[in-house]
Chain A
């Protein structure tokens, strides 16, 4: 399985894992598409997955991502497909958590926000390292920033959609469940996910003592700061 810093990529035709991931997602998505709780909501929440999958398919030849990136994207899209099917606020797992841990709301959406930070930071990091060629400190700070920026942009987008289509719902629109701090909590969840994944990447690099590492260029950053 190729990682973000690996020097090679295996294209779809010869990549069993990629075929399995695509097969799994298409199948799962089809099942979740059969009788969603709220069809208009389901359509709305599926616009972005549709765009994302189309982009990934279209760019696969010219810009193949690592296997790990495709894997985490699939996990995230799977979680999102579940949320879209149940309008997020009615996901059974969230109700179960509510009962077991004594929450006063369905926390499934927050879990997916956390997952967005925890999972999607990996492809972001791959994209930034390979295309922008960032190294050292920036190779850790910028992926976190990108997750935060996307989380913020997402909240802005949500608020536009809510005001455009269902202004009468106010804070009950789009899974805020009446919480005035919903946007901030969602962004914080994504941030925690991103930070946790970054810590894991740092720890993994320490343990594995990677040689094709970009961290060895860190002295360059120090030099630049000093000049």
Chain B
């Protein structure tokens, strides 16, 4: 196993503790309780899945950290129905934007933060090597992003129209779905590009070290 069981792992305890505290604090009085519940359906599912697979398929520490950051951002968004997140309003004023961009930031974060855990899941179960291990996570992220837009559309059409708009967070933009997907796609591309460069440099350094070691080894 790559990571020790939960009760010996301070980092994992810390991450779960932090998330539970934040989640409870933000669950107390959300701006719109119904929207909050809708936004949290996927949260419950994700956390339940992560706990259920913890023993069988523990992710690396970095993956759990990235997932926790993303879930925290989503908890903040859910509390404020995304449209009314204070940081988004502040950005709107500071950069003179015409809408609250917090939802777009979280779509970008979805691609940026979750590409790495997805890559880990893929590499460890599919035994694929080389550039495909960077391309396929981007494909999966873009597919999930599109799938999420479809689910959003279903939910918005099923629930009452005014809540639909709050959940959807289009804020009147007809190209909202496309911009959301572009944000997630850009995040995933940046993240996988960085991962590819990072692992290339690490391999380069390892090769250099190997070379040095060979030179200083005493002759047999």
Contact = CB atoms under 8 A, between A and B. Distances in A.
Contact of A132 (B128, B138, B153): B128
Given A159-B178, A224-B124, A181 B153 contact: yes
A79 to B, nearest CB: 21
Contacts, number: 93
Given A183-B177, A226-B56, A191 B125 contact: no
Interface stretch (A63-71, A103-111, A133-141): A133-141
A16 interface: no
Contacts of A181: 153, 157
B171 to A, nearest CB: 13
Interface residues of A, number: 38
A163 B175 contact: yes
B70 interface: no
Contacts of B128: 132-134
Interface residues of B, number: 33
A225 interface: yes
Contacts of B177: 155, 183-184
Given A132-B128, A152-B181, A224-B127, A187 B146 contact: yes
A77 interface: no
Nearest to A133: B128
A220 B136 CA distance: 20
Interface of B: 1, 56-57, 122, 124-128, 132, 136, 138-140, 142-147, 149-150, 152-153, 157, 174-175, 177-179, 181-182, 185
Interface of A: 131-135, 137-138, 142, 144-149, 151-153, 155-156, 158-159, 163, 170-171, 180-181, 183-185, 187-188, 191, 220-221, 224-227
